[in-house]
Chain A
Amino acid sequence: MLEIKCPYCGKRSQNEFSYGGDATIKRPQLGEEISTEDWDNFVYYRDNPRGKHSELWHHVSGCRQWFKVSRDTATHEIFDTCKMNEDFNV
């Protein structure tokens, strides 16, 4: 079980959180003309890197904030966590 540092609450066990996928995905603008390929890339296609991955987590059983986690998908090492409007330090 991972130990994740919520930027608002501090370190908590993984079972308080839910995973929210790739944090680098940007939703297309509303009303934007967009090709099917670009839309599919947004909806379905995700990189599956071995190593550093920046991802979203939701502190569901806590402060209910979404935030960013930089995690190694192979070792589970967490390099940094930050609020949505911040950038990772490492």
Chain B
Amino acid sequence: MSNSFRTTNSTGLINKDKKINFTFNGTIYHGYEGDTLASALIANGVHLVGRSFKYHRPRGFLGVGVEEPNAMVQLHDGNKSEPNIIATEVELVEGLKAKSQNCWPSVQFDIGEINNVLNRFFPAGFYYKTFMWPKSFWMKIYEPFIRKAAGMGKAPLLPDPDRYEHNYEHCDVLVVGSGPSGLASALAAAKNGARVILAEDKPNFGGSLLTDEVTIGNMSGKEWASDTISQLKSMPNVILKKRSQVFGYYDHNMTVMIERVSDHIENPSKYTPRQRLHYIRAGEVIVSTGSIERPISFGNNDRPGIVLASAAKEYMKVYETLVGKKPIIFTNNDTAYSTALEFIKNDIEPIIVDTRDSSNGELVKEVQQKGISIKFNSGIADTKGHLKINSAIIGKLDSSKESFILEETVECDCICMSGGWTPTVHLSSQAGNKLKFNDDIDAFVPDKKRQKETAIGAANGSFTLNQSLAEGFQVGFDLSNKFTDQNNPTNSPNSNEPSYEKHEKLWCMPLPSGKKPKRFIDFQNDVAVSDVELAIREGFRSIEHVKRYTTLGMAGDQGKTSNLNGLQYVSKIEKKIVPEVGHTTFRPPYTPVTIGAIVGREVGNHYLPTRKSPIHTWHEENNAVFVAAGLWQRPRYYPRGSEDMNTAVNREAANVRKNVGICDVTTLGKIDIKGPDAPEFLNRVYTNAWLKLPVGKARYGVMLREDGMVFDDGTTSRLSENHFHMTTTTAQAANVLSHLEYYLQVVWPDLDVNVLSTTEQWSGIAVAGPKSRDLLSKLFPDVDMSNEGLPFMGLVDSSIDGIKARIYRISFSGELAYEVNVESNYGLYMWKKIMEVGQSFDIQPYGTEALSTLRIEMGHVAGAELDGRTIPFDVGLNSMVSQKKDFIGKRSLSKDAFTESDRQTIVGLVPLDKKTKIPEGSHIIEDNSAVAPIPKLGHVSSSCWSVEYNNPFSIAIIKDGKNKIGKNLYAVSPLKDISIPVEVVSSHYVDPEGSRVRS
């Protein structure tokens, strides 16, 4: 059966000299270069490609391009496996593997076909009612059944090995679609000097010119298309993209286009991406997306072998392939006669069934002149053939065309149907265009535009070649003139095409006498005429509701072939005209897009930069385990030998309490603040007073949001009269800068202050522990490190080896501690220097875990407590709040809810057994044995192992916390099934007087 459905001509676009082997459902076939998977299968006589969504009915190809609703296949296997690919859009490559989906065990014998027999269980809205009762059946029976029976292909479980890229483009005019109007507008715009992108979904430019027998100027349509493309190719202001689908139209003329870069190449270079997603911001978009032929609804109109007439023609003309050798042409208009003529050219006599009473169109006459008789005033009532159509029941329509009067059975192997044409308005509609109904063509066309988008040609309802070309040249020139001053119009050449008579407004055939076969409207979603009738009978009136209840026009298909027929049928039942019924919303993407293309290179680390401190290499060399803090990589702990994390962290923290530790704090946010109003600005930003901070002193500050919640905290020092150095937490550094800029630029522009991030200009090294003073005295012999010389919250400038260093006496660990700041480039040098001198003081590096342990023990708050839900009172920072001055957020603090005495406040928790660590996030409750719901008193924000007392310790924020100190409560974590009896203690667990930092 090898390629027995090929035509003998060679006028198409396939290369019969190059054979390509492929596999479908395990069988090896061959096609030719230029074939799609669809055309190659049809050439091999294969029409049965899948099973329908709900009823598992055998389905074949309906279309030839993006409109194909049935032929969705699973491509490749393993990590390249890809579901729901439209076979008509797949170019054949050597070794391609494809298989049917939604069938089991095979497409020929599918167990799910029982759904077809039991179809009373699958009417419209079956999701909503059939499976709603009894409730207990849902999880065990209905859901697994639906999952197995319905559903499309299988998503691969392995990582996608292919590479996808994103590209950003700008142009004056984007032309979508390269049919006659698209080519004309691109040529006119480009000749007028505009920057043009022309996008074509198919592998060949030309659209309908590749299949229509027309002349333009003195050339055939096909020649004119290729001549125009050569002209465009030679122009530097034009980008031509084939295999590229513009699938989405978003705000401000942003369109998104998917380019299939190497899907059609047998062995692409590893540097070639598989697909590329283009974000195109266009000055103007020309929508020349053409039109799609409509099917006709008749009994069993979904059997394999029943195709659109235009698809049959394209298979013959472009792919040199016959959809069948005993065709019936079934139409309500003239265009299908060109398909009939194409069959005749291949020595095949079609049977022609036309619903109309007559037609004098040129093509109709031509067919008649060839001696073919036409069955006018007739329709197809029903079809037969289980896995492939083998006959049709043709009936004579009565005068009302509401029933058949005579029926005859006719053998056939395919039906080529045409219900007229629907402009492809998806992109215009996505762009916000309010569509209007055009009575002449019985379809919606773009009308009132919201964005810079213009539909032309068939997409605009202009179905004649003359009109399409005229619109194309005119619009291309007009729009390009907005961007250039060349004023150089291009005239439309003369063209010639057959004349067409009007179609008949008839898309749904009556039922055959005594039978009720399904007449499908939406093939992909398995929606038949009876489903629409049912939805309306059950009271669904809005077309949007009918859509959702029946699933008509949903999912990947977006109603390409079904939308208008559905609307026509609703309007017929409702006895309303179609514009009153309205239309549903078209949503992007117009065609399915691979997730890989949307993700692009944002895989793995998501293309984000990694921020490393200048000391990073030392951490690596010294066995640091890193943790991500935003973009930063920070040492979490430094295990020695076989130490686990807890052992290492406890050792590091204990060494700070006993000797001295060193910690890289370069990641802290740093902001340089300068200007005569800088003190006043800080006074407004922070809750405490700043005007009188002496030069050379640091101060701890807390800032709030206007709603009174603590926003951030840090130490800020005064370097000179009008110059301050602010530090922020690592996490909030960027937000604090935006916050300061907001107040300076928007709220108080009168303040003369400048702010600048200096986070990356300084490297910070914390030196903490009782031996830190001795260490630094040795390192900086010229500096008076005594408590009087450099008191707590003091700072001093010094240098070693000519490197300037600023030494702050500040502490996060609660120990006597300093922070040495040097220019970033000297961070590593200074770190090594401190380590070297520190050897005799038993110095050890400590990471973020030990840093946390030390601050938790001391009851110092951090991000876990400052979670955007706490005011200063809640976290023990009330003493930081000035009563004398106003500041950001102060007014909120006097609101009723913020002054209630039993607010949730910060406390410490120790487990009664002194052993069990309390998971962070645990709930605090009073009575462990109470019946749920148990009132929650608060939650655990931070937990550590106290190295001071050698038992677990946590910080919690609980209702009326101060008055709960000394009480026993429970910390519970229902997810972990944990309940821990705890004692409430002060959050200042170690050195509550704060004597160490001042020692």
Interface of A with B (CB < 8 Å)? Answer: 1-3, 13, 18, 20, 27-28, 30-31, 34, 36, 39, 42-44, 56, 58, 60, 64-66, 75-76, 78, 84-85
> What chain B residues lie within 8 Å of A43 (beta carbons)?
706-707, 892
Cβ contact within 8 Å between B749 and A84: yes
Report Cα–Cα, A75/B891, bound state, in Å: 37
Find the B residue at minimum CB distance from A64: B741
Name A1's contact: one of B251, B706, B746, B891 (CB within 8 Å): B251
Name B745's contact: one of A18, A31, A42, A65 (CB within 8 Å): A65
Name A76's contact: one of B251, B706, B741, B891 (CB within 8 Å): B251
Report Cα–Cα, A76/B243, bound state, in Å: 31
Q: Does B279 contact A (CB under 8 A)?
A: yes
Report Cα–Cα, A39/B892, bound state, in Å: 8
Show 15 residue pairs from A and B whose CB-CB distance is below 8 angstroms, ordered by the A residue. A1-B254, A2-B252, A3-B281, A13-B281, A27-B747, A36-B895, A43-B707, A43-B892, A58-B738, A58-B741, A65-B745, A66-B741, A75-B432, A76-B252, A84-B749
Given contacts A2-B251, A39-B891, contact A75 B746 (CB under 8 A): no
Cβ contact within 8 Å between A1 and B279: yes
Q: How far, in Å, is A44 (CB) from chain B's closest CB?
A: 7
Cβ contact within 8 Å between A42 and B706: yes
Report Cα–Cα, A20/B739, bound state, in Å: 10
Report Cα–Cα, A84/B684, bound state, in Å: 21
> What chain A residues lie within 8 Å of B706 (beta carbons)?
27, 42-43
Cβ contact within 8 Å between B746 and A84: yes
The 5 closest A-B pairs by CB, nearest first: A3-B252, A30-B886, A76-B251, A66-B745, A31-B886
Report Cα–Cα, A64/B738, bound state, in Å: 8
Report Cα–Cα, A84/B891, bound state, in Å: 26
> What chain A residues lie within 8 Å of B250 (beta carbons)?
1
Report Cα–Cα, A64/B757, bound state, in Å: 11
**Given pairs A27-B747, A84-B745, 17 additional interface contacts (CB within 8 A):** A1-B251, A1-B252, A1-B254, A18-B738, A20-B746, A28-B891, A36-B896, A39-B895, A43-B706, A43-B707, A43-B892, A56-B746, A58-B742, A64-B741, A65-B745, A78-B252, A85-B749
Interface of B with A (CB < 8 Å)? Answer: 250-254, 279, 281, 432, 450, 684, 706-707, 738, 741-742, 745-747, 749, 885-887, 891-892, 895-896
Report Cα–Cα, A84/B747, bound state, in Å: 10
> What chain A residues lie within 8 Å of B254 (beta carbons)?
1, 3
Most chain A CB within 10 A, of B254, B279, B742, B891, is at B891
Report Cα–Cα, A56/B741, bound state, in Å: 13
Cβ contact within 8 Å between A30 and B742: no
Q: How far, in Å, is A78 (CB) from chain B's closest CB?
A: 8
> What chain B residues lie within 8 Å of A18 (beta carbons)?
738
Cβ contact within 8 Å between A60 and B738: yes
Find the A residue at minimum CB distance from B892: A43
> What chain A residues lie within 8 Å of B738 (beta carbons)?
18, 58, 60
Given contacts A1-B279, A39-B891, contact A66 B742 (CB under 8 A): yes
Find the A residue at minimum CB distance from B756: A64
Q: How far, in Å, is B826 (CB) from chain A's closest CB?
A: 28
Main SS at interface, chain A: loop
Q: How far, in Å, is B252 (CB) from chain A's closest CB?
A: 4
Given contacts A75-B432, A75-B450, A84-B746, contact A30 B684 (CB under 8 A): yes
Q: How far, in Å, is B528 (CB) from chain A's closest CB?
A: 37
Q: How far, in Å, is A23 (CB) from chain B's closest CB?
A: 8
Report Cα–Cα, A56/B746, bound state, in Å: 9
> What chain A residues lie within 8 Å of B741 (beta carbons)?
58, 64-66
> What chain B residues lie within 8 Å of A60 (beta carbons)?
738
Q: How far, in Å, is B221 (CB) from chain A's closest CB?
A: 38
Q: How far, in Å, is B495 (CB) from chain A's closest CB?
A: 38
Report Cα–Cα, A75/B434, bound state, in Å: 13
Report Cα–Cα, A6/B742, bound state, in Å: 16
Report Cα–Cα, A30/B684, bound state, in Å: 9
Report Cα–Cα, A27/B684, bound state, in Å: 13
> What chain B residues lie within 8 Å of A78 (beta carbons)?
252
Find the B residue at minimum CB distance from A35: B891
> What chain A residues lie within 8 Å of B279 (beta carbons)?
1
Cβ contact within 8 Å between B891 and A34: yes
> What chain B residues lie within 8 Å of A76 (beta carbons)?
251-252
Q: How far, in Å, is B490 (CB) from chain A's closest CB?
A: 30
> What chain B residues lie within 8 Å of A31 (beta carbons)?
885-886
Find the B residue at minimum CB distance from A67: B745
> What chain B residues lie within 8 Å of A56 (beta carbons)?
746
Q: How far, in Å, is B330 (CB) from chain A's closest CB?
A: 44
> What chain A residues lie within 8 Å of B892 (beta carbons)?
39, 43
Q: How far, in Å, is A15 (CB) from chain B's closest CB?
A: 10
Report Cα–Cα, A36/B891, bound state, in Å: 8
> What chain B residues lie within 8 Å of A58 (beta carbons)?
738, 741-742
Q: How far, in Å, is B842 (CB) from chain A's closest CB?
A: 45
Most chain A CB within 10 A, of B706, B749, B885, is at B706
> What chain B residues lie within 8 Å of A2 (beta carbons)?
251-252
Report Cα–Cα, A18/B739, bound state, in Å: 12
Find the B residue at minimum CB distance from A77: B450
Q: How far, in Å, is A29 (CB) from chain B's closest CB?
A: 9
Most chain B CB within 10 A, of A18, A65, A76, is at A76
Find the A residue at minimum CB distance from B896: A36
> What chain A residues lie within 8 Å of B887 (beta carbons)?
30
Report Cα–Cα, A4/B281, bound state, in Å: 12
Report Cα–Cα, A65/B754, bound state, in Å: 12
Report Cα–Cα, A30/B887, bound state, in Å: 7
> What chain A residues lie within 8 Å of B707 (beta carbons)?
43-44
Report Cα–Cα, A27/B281, bound state, in Å: 37
Most chain A CB within 10 A, of B707, B746, B749, is at B746
Most chain B CB within 10 A, of A13, A18, A65, A66, is at A66
Q: How far, in Å, is A83 (CB) from chain B's closest CB?
A: 9
Report Cα–Cα, A13/B706, bound state, in Å: 30
Report Cα–Cα, A1/B253, bound state, in Å: 9
Q: How far, in Å, is A31 (CB) from chain B's closest CB?
A: 5
Report Cα–Cα, A43/B704, bound state, in Å: 13
Report Cα–Cα, A41/B885, bound state, in Å: 22
> What chain A residues lie within 8 Å of B253 (beta carbons)?
3
Cβ contact within 8 Å between A20 and B252: no
Report Cα–Cα, A60/B739, bound state, in Å: 11
Find the B residue at minimum CB distance from A60: B738
Given contacts A1-B251, A43-B706, A76-B251, contact A20 B742 (CB under 8 A): yes
Most chain B CB within 10 A, of A28, A34, A43, A75, is at A43
Most chain B CB within 10 A, of A1, A31, A60, A85, is at A1
Report Cα–Cα, A35/B738, bound state, in Å: 28
Report Cα–Cα, A44/B892, bound state, in Å: 11
> What chain B residues lie within 8 Å of A27 (beta carbons)?
706, 747
Report Cα–Cα, A60/B210, bound state, in Å: 50
Q: How far, in Å, is B895 (CB) from chain A's closest CB?
A: 6
> What chain A residues lie within 8 Å of B251 (beta carbons)?
1-2, 76
